[in-house]
Structure 1
Amino acid sequence: MATFFTDLISSIFTPGATPSIIIATNGSFAALQIVLLVLLILTYSVHFVVLSFLCAGLWWVINWFVTELETANRKGRDAKQSKEMEKEQERDERRVEDSGTETEGGGVQSEGGSSGSVLGSKTEGLLRPEDAQDVLRKRKNSGEASSGDLSTDSDWDKVSEAEEVDR
Protein backbone atom coordinates (compact mmCIF):
# COMPACT_ATOMS: atom_id res chain seq x y z
CA MET A 1 0.00 0.00 0.00
CA ALA A 2 2.87 2.35 0.75
CA THR A 3 4.35 1.73 -2.70
CA PHE A 4 1.03 2.71 -4.26
CA PHE A 5 1.14 6.13 -2.59
CA THR A 6 4.78 6.72 -3.53
CA ASP A 7 3.95 5.70 -7.12
CA LEU A 8 0.94 8.03 -7.04
CA ILE A 9 3.02 10.99 -5.84
CA SER A 10 5.81 10.32 -8.35
CA SER A 11 3.30 9.86 -11.20
CA ILE A 12 2.06 13.40 -10.67
CA PHE A 13 5.31 14.63 -12.17
CA THR A 14 5.29 12.26 -15.16
CA PRO A 15 3.30 13.13 -18.29
CA GLY A 16 0.40 10.97 -19.40
CA ALA A 17 -2.03 8.74 -17.58
CA THR A 18 -0.09 6.38 -15.34
CA PRO A 19 -1.72 3.26 -13.86
CA SER A 20 -1.56 4.61 -10.31
CA ILE A 21 -3.41 7.80 -11.28
CA ILE A 22 -6.07 5.80 -13.12
CA ILE A 23 -6.59 3.56 -10.08
CA ALA A 24 -6.77 6.58 -7.75
CA THR A 25 -9.27 8.33 -10.06
CA ASN A 26 -11.52 5.28 -10.31
CA GLY A 27 -11.33 4.78 -6.53
CA SER A 28 -12.26 8.42 -5.90
CA PHE A 29 -15.28 8.28 -8.22
CA ALA A 30 -16.44 5.00 -6.68
CA ALA A 31 -16.18 6.54 -3.18
CA LEU A 32 -18.11 9.63 -4.38
CA GLN A 33 -20.89 7.44 -5.80
CA ILE A 34 -21.15 5.62 -2.46
CA VAL A 35 -21.34 8.92 -0.56
CA LEU A 36 -24.03 10.22 -2.94
CA LEU A 37 -26.04 7.01 -2.51
CA VAL A 38 -25.82 7.25 1.29
CA LEU A 39 -26.90 10.91 1.19
CA LEU A 40 -29.79 10.03 -1.13
CA ILE A 41 -31.00 7.36 1.32
CA LEU A 42 -30.68 9.70 4.32
CA THR A 43 -32.32 12.79 2.77
CA TYR A 44 -34.53 11.52 -0.07
CA SER A 45 -33.39 14.55 -2.10
CA VAL A 46 -33.53 14.46 -5.89
CA HIS A 47 -30.39 16.57 -5.98
CA PHE A 48 -28.26 13.56 -5.08
CA VAL A 49 -29.74 11.56 -7.96
CA VAL A 50 -28.77 14.34 -10.38
CA LEU A 51 -25.30 14.61 -8.81
CA SER A 52 -24.91 10.85 -9.07
CA PHE A 53 -25.70 10.94 -12.81
CA LEU A 54 -23.27 13.82 -13.32
CA CYS A 55 -20.60 11.93 -11.38
CA ALA A 56 -21.21 8.73 -13.41
CA GLY A 57 -21.04 10.67 -16.69
CA LEU A 58 -17.79 12.38 -15.74
CA TRP A 59 -16.32 9.06 -14.55
CA TRP A 60 -17.22 7.39 -17.85
CA VAL A 61 -15.81 10.27 -19.93
CA ILE A 62 -12.49 10.23 -18.05
CA ASN A 63 -12.10 6.48 -18.56
CA TRP A 64 -13.07 6.83 -22.24
CA PHE A 65 -10.47 9.58 -22.71
CA VAL A 66 -7.74 7.49 -21.06
CA THR A 67 -8.62 4.56 -23.34
CA GLU A 68 -8.47 6.78 -26.44
CA LEU A 69 -5.17 8.25 -25.29
CA GLU A 70 -3.67 4.79 -24.84
CA THR A 71 -4.96 3.74 -28.29
CA ALA A 72 -3.41 6.80 -29.93
CA ASN A 73 -0.10 6.20 -28.16
CA ARG A 74 -0.12 2.55 -29.25
CA LYS A 75 -0.80 3.54 -32.88
CA GLY A 76 1.99 6.12 -32.72
CA ARG A 77 4.43 3.53 -31.36
CA ASP A 78 3.37 1.01 -34.02
CA ALA A 79 3.79 3.57 -36.79
CA LYS A 80 7.21 4.54 -35.47
CA GLN A 81 8.28 0.89 -35.29
CA SER A 82 7.04 0.21 -38.83
CA LYS A 83 8.95 3.25 -40.15
CA GLU A 84 12.10 2.06 -38.40
CA MET A 85 11.65 -1.43 -39.86
CA GLU A 86 11.18 0.05 -43.36
CA LYS A 87 14.35 2.11 -42.95
CA GLU A 88 16.27 -0.97 -41.84
CA GLN A 89 14.97 -2.92 -44.83
CA GLU A 90 16.02 -0.09 -47.18
CA ARG A 91 19.47 -0.05 -45.59
CA ASP A 92 19.74 -3.82 -46.00
CA GLU A 93 18.68 -3.56 -49.65
CA ARG A 94 21.26 -0.83 -50.27
CA ARG A 95 23.95 -2.97 -48.65
CA VAL A 96 23.04 -5.86 -50.93
CA GLU A 97 23.14 -3.55 -53.98
CA ASP A 98 26.42 -1.97 -52.89
CA SER A 99 28.12 -5.30 -52.16
CA GLY A 100 28.66 -6.14 -55.86
CA THR A 101 30.49 -4.29 -58.61
CA GLU A 102 29.38 -3.95 -62.17
CA THR A 103 31.36 -5.71 -64.87
CA GLU A 104 31.79 -4.60 -68.45
CA GLY A 105 29.11 -7.04 -69.59
CA GLY A 106 26.56 -5.37 -67.32
CA GLY A 107 26.36 -8.21 -64.81
CA VAL A 108 27.05 -7.90 -61.11
CA GLN A 109 30.11 -9.61 -59.74
CA SER A 110 30.90 -10.22 -56.10
CA GLU A 111 33.88 -8.42 -54.64
CA GLY A 112 35.98 -11.57 -54.27
CA GLY A 113 35.44 -12.89 -57.80
CA SER A 114 37.45 -12.01 -60.88
CA SER A 115 36.27 -11.94 -64.46
CA GLY A 116 37.17 -9.60 -67.32
CA SER A 117 37.77 -5.95 -66.59
CA VAL A 118 35.91 -4.55 -63.65
CA LEU A 119 34.62 -1.00 -64.00
CA GLY A 120 33.69 -0.84 -60.32
CA SER A 121 37.05 0.63 -59.35
CA LYS A 122 36.66 3.49 -61.86
CA THR A 123 32.99 4.18 -61.17
CA GLU A 124 32.86 3.98 -57.38
CA GLY A 125 32.38 7.72 -56.88
CA LEU A 126 29.75 8.07 -59.62
CA LEU A 127 26.01 8.05 -59.05
CA ARG A 128 23.92 5.13 -60.20
CA PRO A 129 20.73 5.95 -62.17
CA GLU A 130 18.58 5.05 -59.13
CA ASP A 131 20.51 7.46 -56.90
CA ALA A 132 20.71 10.20 -59.52
CA GLN A 133 16.94 10.75 -59.77
CA ASP A 134 17.02 13.37 -57.02
CA VAL A 135 20.02 15.13 -58.54
CA LEU A 136 18.77 15.39 -62.12
CA ARG A 137 18.03 18.83 -63.39
CA LYS A 138 16.44 20.19 -66.50
CA ARG A 139 18.89 20.91 -69.31
CA LYS A 140 19.16 24.52 -70.31
CA ASN A 141 18.97 25.78 -73.84
CA SER A 142 22.34 26.42 -75.45
CA GLY A 143 21.73 30.17 -75.14
CA GLU A 144 21.25 29.91 -71.35
CA ALA A 145 24.09 27.53 -70.58
CA SER A 146 27.27 28.68 -68.95
CA SER A 147 30.57 27.06 -69.84
CA GLY A 148 30.38 24.14 -67.35
CA ASP A 149 26.68 23.22 -67.54
CA LEU A 150 26.67 20.99 -70.63
CA SER A 151 28.97 18.09 -71.37
CA THR A 152 30.76 17.97 -74.68
CA ASP A 153 31.75 15.14 -76.97
CA SER A 154 35.35 15.58 -75.87
CA ASP A 155 34.34 14.57 -72.33
CA TRP A 156 32.97 11.28 -73.67
CA ASP A 157 36.12 10.80 -75.73
CA LYS A 158 38.19 11.10 -72.55
CA VAL A 159 36.08 8.41 -70.86
CA SER A 160 36.44 6.09 -73.85
CA GLU A 161 40.21 6.61 -73.93
CA ALA A 162 40.46 5.80 -70.22
CA GLU A 163 38.57 2.52 -70.75
CA GLU A 164 40.83 1.54 -73.68
CA VAL A 165 43.95 2.15 -71.55
CA ASP A 166 42.58 -0.13 -68.83
CA ARG A 167 42.07 -3.01 -71.28
Structure 2
Amino acid sequence: MATFVSDLWESIFTPGPTPTLLIATNVTFAALQLVLGLLLVATHSIHFVVLSAISGGLWWSINWFARELKIHQQQEEEKARRAEQTPIGRSDDSETEVEGRSTVGANRGRGRAGAPVVIGGESDDITKAASASNEVEVVQKQGELKQRVAAGDNSPSQGTKSSVSTEDEWEKVSENENEKDK
Protein backbone atom coordinates (compact mmCIF):
# COMPACT_ATOMS: atom_id res chain seq x y z
CA MET A 1 0.00 0.00 0.00
CA ALA A 2 2.87 2.39 0.76
CA THR A 3 4.33 1.68 -2.68
CA PHE A 4 1.00 2.51 -4.32
CA VAL A 5 0.74 5.82 -2.45
CA SER A 6 4.30 6.83 -3.36
CA ASP A 7 3.69 5.80 -7.00
CA LEU A 8 0.46 7.80 -6.97
CA TRP A 9 2.30 10.86 -5.62
CA GLU A 10 4.97 10.57 -8.33
CA SER A 11 2.37 10.01 -11.07
CA ILE A 12 0.73 13.33 -10.23
CA PHE A 13 3.88 15.10 -11.41
CA THR A 14 4.35 12.87 -14.46
CA PRO A 15 2.75 14.17 -17.68
CA GLY A 16 0.05 11.98 -19.16
CA PRO A 17 -2.15 9.33 -17.59
CA THR A 18 -0.06 6.80 -15.69
CA PRO A 19 -1.43 3.36 -14.76
CA THR A 20 -1.28 4.20 -11.05
CA LEU A 21 -3.26 7.39 -11.56
CA LEU A 22 -5.88 5.61 -13.67
CA ILE A 23 -6.32 2.92 -11.01
CA ALA A 24 -6.77 5.57 -8.31
CA THR A 25 -9.26 7.45 -10.49
CA ASN A 26 -11.32 4.34 -11.22
CA VAL A 27 -11.37 3.26 -7.56
CA THR A 28 -12.42 6.76 -6.49
CA PHE A 29 -15.26 6.93 -9.02
CA ALA A 30 -16.43 3.44 -8.07
CA ALA A 31 -16.52 4.50 -4.41
CA LEU A 32 -18.43 7.66 -5.37
CA GLN A 33 -20.99 5.61 -7.30
CA LEU A 34 -21.39 3.29 -4.29
CA VAL A 35 -21.95 6.24 -1.93
CA LEU A 36 -24.45 7.85 -4.32
CA GLY A 37 -26.30 4.52 -4.62
CA LEU A 38 -26.47 4.12 -0.82
CA LEU A 39 -27.72 7.71 -0.45
CA LEU A 40 -30.37 7.06 -3.10
CA VAL A 41 -31.61 4.01 -1.20
CA ALA A 42 -31.56 5.89 2.11
CA THR A 43 -33.29 9.10 0.95
CA HIS A 44 -35.20 8.13 -2.23
CA SER A 45 -34.13 11.49 -3.71
CA ILE A 46 -33.92 11.93 -7.49
CA HIS A 47 -30.92 14.18 -6.95
CA PHE A 48 -28.67 11.19 -6.32
CA VAL A 49 -29.74 9.60 -9.61
CA VAL A 50 -28.79 12.79 -11.45
CA LEU A 51 -25.50 13.06 -9.55
CA SER A 52 -24.76 9.42 -10.31
CA ALA A 53 -25.40 10.01 -14.03
CA ILE A 54 -23.11 13.05 -14.05
CA SER A 55 -20.45 11.16 -12.15
CA GLY A 56 -20.74 8.18 -14.49
CA GLY A 57 -20.40 10.44 -17.54
CA LEU A 58 -17.31 12.07 -16.09
CA TRP A 59 -15.85 8.68 -15.20
CA TRP A 60 -16.43 7.38 -18.73
CA SER A 61 -14.99 10.55 -20.34
CA ILE A 62 -11.80 10.39 -18.25
CA ASN A 63 -11.23 6.77 -19.26
CA TRP A 64 -12.02 7.58 -22.91
CA PHE A 65 -9.52 10.45 -22.87
CA ALA A 66 -6.85 8.22 -21.33
CA ARG A 67 -7.43 5.60 -24.08
CA GLU A 68 -7.20 8.26 -26.79
CA LEU A 69 -3.93 9.56 -25.34
CA LYS A 70 -2.54 6.03 -25.27
CA ILE A 71 -3.51 5.50 -28.93
CA HIS A 72 -1.90 8.83 -29.87
CA GLN A 73 1.30 7.95 -28.01
CA GLN A 74 1.44 4.60 -29.83
CA GLN A 75 1.00 6.37 -33.18
CA GLU A 76 3.79 8.83 -32.33
CA GLU A 77 6.09 5.96 -31.33
CA GLU A 78 5.30 4.22 -34.63
CA LYS A 79 6.14 7.41 -36.56
CA ALA A 80 9.41 7.67 -34.64
CA ARG A 81 10.27 4.06 -35.48
CA ARG A 82 9.51 4.68 -39.16
CA ALA A 83 11.66 7.82 -39.13
CA GLU A 84 14.56 5.86 -37.66
CA GLN A 85 14.20 3.15 -40.32
CA THR A 86 14.08 5.64 -43.20
CA PRO A 87 17.52 6.37 -44.74
CA ILE A 88 18.85 9.89 -44.16
CA GLY A 89 18.77 10.95 -47.82
CA ARG A 90 15.16 9.89 -48.31
CA SER A 91 11.87 10.52 -46.61
CA ASP A 92 8.20 9.67 -47.12
CA ASP A 93 7.65 12.87 -49.12
CA SER A 94 8.39 13.09 -52.82
CA GLU A 95 11.68 14.80 -52.07
CA THR A 96 14.78 13.66 -53.93
CA GLU A 97 18.31 14.96 -54.11
CA VAL A 98 20.18 15.05 -57.40
CA GLU A 99 23.76 16.39 -57.53
CA GLY A 100 23.26 18.88 -54.71
CA ARG A 101 19.88 20.10 -55.96
CA SER A 102 16.68 19.45 -54.13
CA THR A 103 13.45 18.78 -55.97
CA VAL A 104 10.32 18.88 -53.87
CA GLY A 105 7.10 17.54 -55.40
CA ALA A 106 5.99 17.67 -59.00
CA ASN A 107 5.15 21.39 -59.03
CA ARG A 108 8.70 22.66 -58.51
CA GLY A 109 8.88 26.32 -59.45
CA ARG A 110 5.13 26.66 -59.80
CA GLY A 111 2.86 29.00 -57.87
CA ARG A 112 -0.57 28.27 -56.47
CA ALA A 113 -2.27 28.60 -59.85
CA GLY A 114 0.40 26.53 -61.62
CA ALA A 115 2.06 29.54 -63.24
CA PRO A 116 5.85 29.80 -63.19
CA VAL A 117 7.12 31.87 -60.31
CA VAL A 118 9.69 34.51 -61.03
CA ILE A 119 11.91 35.48 -58.12
CA GLY A 120 13.98 38.57 -58.66
CA GLY A 121 13.23 38.61 -62.38
CA GLU A 122 15.30 35.53 -63.26
CA SER A 123 13.97 32.02 -63.72
CA ASP A 124 17.30 30.49 -62.63
CA ASP A 125 16.82 31.90 -59.12
CA ILE A 126 14.67 28.91 -58.20
CA THR A 127 17.42 26.52 -59.21
CA LYS A 128 20.00 28.61 -57.33
CA ALA A 129 17.82 28.71 -54.23
CA ALA A 130 17.21 24.97 -54.47
CA SER A 131 20.91 24.21 -54.67
CA ALA A 132 21.67 26.54 -51.75
CA SER A 133 19.10 25.05 -49.38
CA ASN A 134 17.01 21.92 -49.02
CA GLU A 135 13.98 24.00 -48.12
CA VAL A 136 12.70 26.31 -50.85
CA GLU A 137 10.07 28.91 -50.20
CA VAL A 138 8.24 29.67 -53.42
CA VAL A 139 7.23 33.32 -53.56
CA GLN A 140 4.44 34.26 -55.87
CA LYS A 141 4.51 37.82 -57.19
CA GLN A 142 1.36 39.66 -56.17
CA GLY A 143 0.09 42.92 -57.68
CA GLU A 144 1.86 46.25 -57.33
CA LEU A 145 1.32 48.33 -54.21
CA LYS A 146 -1.07 51.22 -54.54
CA GLN A 147 -0.69 54.41 -52.55
CA ARG A 148 -3.69 55.79 -50.76
CA VAL A 149 -5.26 58.96 -52.01
CA ALA A 150 -5.69 61.82 -49.54
CA ALA A 151 -9.25 62.98 -48.91
CA GLY A 152 -10.31 65.47 -51.62
CA ASP A 153 -7.10 64.89 -53.57
CA ASN A 154 -6.82 62.84 -56.77
CA SER A 155 -3.10 62.19 -56.48
CA PRO A 156 -1.20 59.97 -54.05
CA SER A 157 -0.24 61.66 -50.81
CA GLN A 158 2.84 63.82 -51.01
CA GLY A 159 3.97 63.19 -47.42
CA THR A 160 4.99 59.88 -45.95
CA LYS A 161 2.83 56.92 -46.82
CA SER A 162 1.30 56.79 -43.35
CA SER A 163 1.05 60.49 -42.59
CA VAL A 164 -2.27 61.19 -44.27
CA SER A 165 -4.18 57.96 -43.94
CA THR A 166 -3.14 56.68 -40.54
CA GLU A 167 -3.28 59.96 -38.65
CA ASP A 168 -6.66 60.82 -40.17
CA GLU A 169 -8.01 57.43 -39.25
CA TRP A 170 -6.80 57.74 -35.65
CA GLU A 171 -8.40 61.19 -35.41
CA LYS A 172 -11.71 59.71 -36.59
CA VAL A 173 -11.45 56.92 -34.03
CA SER A 174 -10.72 59.31 -31.18
CA GLU A 175 -13.60 61.59 -32.28
CA ASN A 176 -15.97 58.59 -32.27
CA GLU A 177 -14.79 57.59 -28.79
CA ASN A 178 -15.35 61.14 -27.49
CA GLU A 179 -18.88 61.11 -28.90
CA LYS A 180 -19.62 57.76 -27.21
CA ASP A 181 -18.41 59.06 -23.85
CA LYS A 182 -20.83 62.02 -23.94
Shorter-chain TM-score: what band? 0.5 to 0.7
Structure 2 residues not aligned, in runs of 5+:
91-96, 104-121, 126-182
- Taking the aligned partners of 2:34 and 2:101, their CA distance within structure 1 comes to 69
Q: Corresponding residue for 1:29?
A: 29
Amino acid at match of 1:29: F
Change (3 A) 1:75 1:39: same
Amino acid at match of 2:12: I
Query: SS of the counterpart of 1:30?
Result: helix
Post-superposition CA distance 1:37-83 (Å, at most 9, x none) = 00000000000011011111100000000000110111011011101
Does 2:19 correspond to 1:19?
yes
Q: CA RMSD in A?
A: 2.3
| 1:138 Cα offset (Å) | 5.7
Q: TM-score, normalised by structure 2?
A: 0.51
- Taking the aligned partners of 2:99 and 2:68, their CA distance within structure 1 comes to 42
Change (3 A) 1:89 1:19: farther
Q: Corresponding residue for 1:43?
A: 43
Q: TM-score, normalised by structure 1?
A: 0.55
Query: Higher Cα Rg: structure 1 or 2?
Result: 1
- Taking the aligned partners of 1:47 and 1:29, their CA distance within structure 2 comes to 17
- Taking the aligned partners of 1:28 and 1:139, their CA distance within structure 2 comes to 68
Instruction: Count how many residue pairs are aligned between Structure 1 and Structure 2.
Output: 101
Amino acid at match of 1:76: E
Query: SS of the counterpart of 2:16?
Result: coil
| 1:88 Cα offset (Å) | 6.0
Q: What are the equivalent positions in structure 2 for 1:60-79 lying under 5 Å apart?
A: 60-79=60-79
Change (3 A) 1:88 1:132: closer
- Taking the aligned partners of 1:7 and 1:139, their CA distance within structure 2 comes to 62
Amino acid at match of 2:102: D
| 1:13 Cα offset (Å) | 1.1
Query: SS of the counterpart of 2:102?
Result: coil
- Taking the aligned partners of 2:82 and 2:7, their CA distance within structure 1 comes to 32
Does 2:4 correspond to 1:7?
no
Change (3 A) 1:131 1:38: same
Q: Corresponding residue for 1:118?
A: none
Does 2:96 correspond to 1:57?
no
Does 2:115 correspond to 1:131?
no
Query: SS of the counterpart of 1:134?
Result: strand
Q: Report percent identity of matched pairs.
A: 46
| 1:12 Cα offset (Å) | 1.1
Which stretches of structure 1, 4 residues or longer, exceed 6 Å deviation after superposition?
none
- Taking the aligned partners of 1:65 and 1:79, their CA distance within structure 2 comes to 21
The structure richer in helix per residue is: 1
